[in-house]
Structure 1
Amino acid sequence: MSPVAAMIRDSARQCMAWLHGWTGLLLGHVLFIICLTGTLTIFKPEISQWMRPEARAVASPAEAILAATRWLQANSKDSTGWYLSAPDDRANIVEASYDSDGVYRTQALDPQTGAPVARETLGGEFFYRLHFELELPYPWGRLLASLAAMTMLVALVTGVIAHKRIFKDVFTFRPFKGQRSWLDGHNGLGVLAMPFHIMITFTGLLTLASLNLPWGMTGAYGEDMATMYADLAPGSVTRAASGEKAALAPLAPMLTTAQRHFGGTPIGRVYVFNPGDKAAVVTVYPSDAEAIGYMPAEISFDGATGHTLKAWTEIRTGIRTYQTIYGLHMARFAPSLTRWLYFLGGAMLTMAIATGMVLWIVKRRERAPLSVGNRILERLNVGVLTGAPIGAVAFLIANRLLPLGIVARAETEVSIALWTSGAALALGMVLPPAIGWPVLLGGLAIGCVSAAFLGPIWPDGWPLATVNLLLLGVALALLPVIRRQVQRKRAPAPTRRRAVAT
């Protein structure tokens, strides 16, 4: 290679390294929260079961839906719609969203009685919503999440280009070497699961494409969103309420017909529009637990007579491609082994972000005294990188300690999680990092052990045991990290040296 070509190559790599560092830095803490909660969402049904230990009843999807509709008929008033998700191999309750007397509710219903389960909680839904909404009002949370996803994609691509020895260094880790150790860890975590990281980031970005790139829709449809949705889902049946009361026809024959139409695939979701009205519509969707593509078919019935109104199976290439991309990101199709691989890939991406944020500070501390901005960033690292998981554990502990019958129990759990994260962030900003790291990591380890032992230590069924084992595994993995932080606090300050080239 000529000297000019080598100089151009090195200059391009330096530009990519600069872009990689700054894109990761600007939204690094937001990305950490998004990736952490997204990783936890892989086990959303298992977390929900762990947080409802009293809900042990099981029933087939059709039987559970029938029980839920019987309860809703008796306990909802002037409802405009019931939106029900049937149980499956991973979730044993019916997730119901409905309005009653002008109040919108979301509840977990017992699959046998149809009544709400004893312990009111959002369960794993909290992590799922936090993952892409960040507890911010619509659409601001989703816009921030999509901006962070764009930043993540840029950071991944520039990181690959900037790295000189990507295949050699990926299997190299030199512990207790300061900046070099952090760089080795960051490289290994980022590169070993690089295909997964790109896939999950790209698919997540596309799930929010209507927010990021709305101009195609507005150019084609203007303000006529009803026509757009009709073209997007031509199988849907929408009817305005007639105002004339009519009893809902028996659902069992509708569900049997639907399951036959789906080729034996179990029922996944049932939506009842205008229940109790002559213009009621019952729409049934198949379970997406066995297909990557999300909700590929639907069938609608007249709610008053039970007659089939429309059946639709999606075959359009563009729509099926989007549904497959969405399904890849959500991973509802994933069998047990694939689900664990998703979890491992998500955990590696989360840790790659965390090590990158720490590496930024370590590199600059070894060169010269930290600037005021970097000192603030260093304390933000302590507060955010420990505060987010501490808040997640506080959410689980609150689920066990709050009385079952208190008003707004689910909202109280969420408030405890957020306030605990805020307190950890404040401690991280106040305490010197040499003290803040071991204190907050120690608090996280104690919280994980406490959450595991507050519930049944070895409950019936793998879903509940899985969460306990994950909590204990995190606590065990934190012990050497805490020990190292304590040793560093006692050790003399390191001698500054020139940074190692990346």
Structure 2
Amino acid sequence: MKEGFRQSMAWLHTWSGLLVGWVLFMVFAGGTSAYFRDEISLWMKPELHAATAAPPAVPAQAVALALRHLQDKAAGSPRWSIELPSEREPLLRTGWTVPQAAASAPRTGERPRRARFASATLDPATGQPVAAPRETRGGDFFYRLHFDLHYMSAIWGRWIVGFCAMFMLVAIVSGIVTHKRIFKDFFTFRPKKGQRSWLDAHNATAVLALPYHLMITYTGLVTLMFLYMPWGQEAVYQDDRTTFIAEVFPSSAGFSNQKAAGVPAPLVPVEPLMREASTAWHGAAVSRVVVNNPGDATARVTLYRHEGGKLSANQSSMTFDGASGRLLGRAGEDIAPASDTRGVLYGLHLGRFAHPLLRWLFFASGVAGCVMVATGLLLWSVKERQKYAKALARGGRVGWGLRLVDGLNVGAIAGLPLAMAVFFWANRCVPVGIAERPATEIACFFWAWGLAAVAGLAWPARRMWQVQLALGGLLFALLPVLNPLSGGMGLLASLPAGEWRIAGFDLTAIALGAGLLAAAWYVGKRKPTAKARAAAAHAKAEAEAKLLAAEPRLEPAGVGR
């Protein structure tokens, strides 16, 4: 009975991982890159590279400069937003809602939007706009891709990703049950042993970051739990969505939806409000300032706390009357246990609390997750191919199911890194001034991935693996060369300046490129295993025997006379 249970878990582990493995590989790759989405976005805007070397500015002074800019450029806007510089984002970012009267009409066939937004990036020391960066989705593209997918409704994308994440959780738990020597096997790797080598690699990468794999899969489901299981919310709150958001998402309680009164009133100085908030937060700094109805008697100023290394994603805020400076309310501090638990799990998934070393450990664990999924998919192909060993030895072909999996493996495992490299090259090669530039970059990504998938399905052979891995590795390895040639800060400038946000991207690109090129070289030189050589020799002997049997025998002279 015990052996039967383990065998059933092995079957469940195999099929729960295989059926959604290609989507999971994309989810892991996109989510892993999202740990550095700010740095990716910065690299993809070379116009901002020179401005990042500016010394840090005083937060209150930076806010005053940003407000002055907004008063000049967005005086009629109903909402202003200011993102203060941080250790990962050195520039001052401002944004505002474009008034409805000034917003351009939607194009023919385009769905009307509720509001349109504009933004500007400022030098925090002078308040002057920096060179207008090129339009790009940057690292946010991979972040949204890993749970929203693309070219489809976000709701459908989240349902698909959630379905795959549930399968992933089942595969992890069943894998733990199946491998009774999982921790012992972690220290065992036998190269050049065919199926055994793939299983060793799969076990090693799975156990290496097993707590991370369990955490990231479960917390990923928690982030969208109200989409997947809305019945509790509906039973308790019915249609009272305002109360639901205020209690479950306390960080949103600081926003004011009060309409403007139409009575002009000057905005109070924000610096005293920042000092009051910092004192109430025991010295914590302000990370974001939002002004609703600026210049009106109903103005509201909401200050958000810089959480630093706080694990929970729930963010504290304080809201003041913009005309008098009176404190109106605080949010995100007295949180219900259930909401706080969700905030901690959500914060674990996002990893924003992590300092640089921990963020790199998360990144390495994510890469291990990609390798785990990839080796699991390849292991199934290797095991299934053994069933066709005799047919292949006789010159036959594998079944359509194995050929389909082989093609999908090429397109997903080798094609996705190639498409990601193409996305970064498109960022520097697509003309800056063209319309819908971010959409063009994304289209280049999907065209490259689609072509890689079609090529893999058409020719799922070792040579196709080698071509796609080598091309992806070459494109990644040359990104540090492309960077300074297209206006960015190259390694020769970023390393001496200590600008690790940019240099880190280039160095990671070199490492990824080297890894892909090494994999392409290994695929090209890998010799058949002993079992494959024995099968080939056996087939050759059988062929020679059949050839000899078919030849006419010559009788010795004189015989039969």
Q: CA deviation at 1:175?
A: 1.3
User: Aligned to 1:271, what secondary structure does the other structure show?
Assistant: strand
Identity level (%) = 38
Q: What is the match of residue 500 of structure 1? A: none
Whether the 8 Å CA contact 2:247–2:336 is kept in 1: the answer is no
Partner amino acid, structure 2, of 1:487: K
Per-residue CA shift, 1:65-86, capped at 9, x if unaligned? 4444433333337544334433
Aligned residues: 490
Q: What is the match of residue 474 of structure 1? A: 512
Partner amino acid, structure 2, of 1:110: L
1:339 and 2:359 correspond: yes
CA RMSD across the alignment: 2.5
Q: What is the match of residue 303 of structure 1? A: 322
Q: What is the match of residue 380 of structure 2? A: 360
Q: Distance in 2 between matches of 1:492 and 1:216?
A: 58
Output aligned runs, 1:266-281, within 5 Å.
266-281=285-300
Q: What is the match of residue 126 of structure 1? A: 141
**Are residues 35 and 117 of structure 1, via their aligned partners in 2, closer, same or farther at CA, if it must alter by over 3 Å?**
farther
- Which segment is superposed worse, 484-493 or 193-202? 484-493
Whether the 8 Å CA contact 2:82–2:92 is kept in 1: the answer is yes
Please say which structure displays the higher CA radius of gyration: 2
Q: What is the match of residue 117 of structure 2? A: 105
Q: Distance in 2 between matches of 1:340 and 1:474?
A: 14
**Are residues 90 and 307 of structure 1, via their aligned partners in 2, closer, same or farther at CA, if it must alter by over 3 Å?**
same
**Are residues 428 and 245 of structure 1, via their aligned partners in 2, closer, same or farther at CA, if it must alter by over 3 Å?**
farther
Q: Distance in 1 between matches of 2:478 and 2:447?
A: 19
Partner amino acid, structure 2, of 1:185: A
Q: What is the match of residue 425 of structure 1? A: 453
Q: Distance in 2 between matches of 1:285 and 1:27?
A: 39
Partner amino acid, structure 2, of 1:142: R
- Which segment is superposed worse, 264-273 or 160-169? 264-273
User: Aligned to 1:203, what secondary structure does the other structure show?
Assistant: helix
**Are residues 139 and 73 of structure 1, via their aligned partners in 2, closer, same or farther at CA, if it must alter by over 3 Å?**
farther
Q: What is the match of residue 544 of structure 2? A: none
**Are residues 142 and 288 of structure 1, via their aligned partners in 2, closer, same or farther at CA, if it must alter by over 3 Å?**
farther
**Are residues 46 and 263 of structure 1, via their aligned partners in 2, closer, same or farther at CA, if it must alter by over 3 Å?**
same
1:54 and 2:92 correspond: no
Q: Distance in 1 between matches of 2:518 and 2:249?
A: 53
Whether the 8 Å CA contact 2:30–2:143 is kept in 1: the answer is yes
User: Aligned to 2:304, what secondary structure does the other structure show?
Assistant: strand
- Which segment is superposed worse, 109-118 or 23-32? 109-118
Q: Distance in 2 between matches of 1:13 and 1:310?
A: 57
- Which segment is superposed worse, 74-83 or 259-268? 74-83
Per-residue CA shift, 1:300-328, capped at 9, x if unaligned? 01223332211232343222222111111
Partner amino acid, structure 2, of 1:476: A
Whether the 8 Å CA contact 2:410–2:460 is kept in 1: the answer is no
Partner amino acid, structure 2, of 1:73: Q
**Are residues 362 and 84 of structure 1, via their aligned partners in 2, closer, same or farther at CA, if it must alter by over 3 Å?**
farther
User: Aligned to 1:140, what secondary structure does the other structure show?
Assistant: helix
Q: Distance in 2 between matches of 1:444 and 1:165?
A: 36
Q: CA deviation at 1:365?
A: 0.5
- Which segment is superposed worse, 133-142 or 374-383? 133-142
Q: What is the match of residue 115 of structure 1? A: 129
User: Aligned to 2:47, what secondary structure does the other structure show?
Assistant: coil
Q: What is the match of residue 185 of structure 1? A: 201
Q: What is the match of residue 244 of structure 1? A: 262
Q: CA deviation at 1:95?
A: 4.8
Partner amino acid, structure 2, of 1:105: F
**Are residues 482 and 54 of structure 1, via their aligned partners in 2, closer, same or farther at CA, if it must alter by over 3 Å?**
same
Whether the 8 Å CA contact 1:286–1:295 is kept in 2: the answer is no
TM-score normalised according to structure 1 size? 0.90
**Residue of 260, 265, 269 corresponding to 2:279:** 260
1:9 and 2:2 correspond: yes
Whether the 8 Å CA contact 1:314–1:320 is kept in 2: the answer is no
Q: CA deviation at 1:250?
A: 3.0
Q: CA deviation at 1:28?
A: 0.9
- Which segment is superposed worse, 238-247 or 203-212? 238-247
Q: Distance in 1 between matches of 2:210 and 2:120?
A: 37
Q: What is the match of residue 68 of structure 2? A: 70
Q: What is the match of residue 41 of structure 1? A: 34
Whether the 8 Å CA contact 1:46–1:90 is kept in 2: the answer is yes
Unaligned runs of 5+ in 1: 1-7, 498-502
Unaligned runs of 5+ in 2: 104-114, 389-396, 484-489, 536-561
Q: CA deviation at 1:411?
A: 2.9
TM-score normalised according to structure 2 size? 0.81
User: Aligned to 1:91, what secondary structure does the other structure show?
Assistant: coil
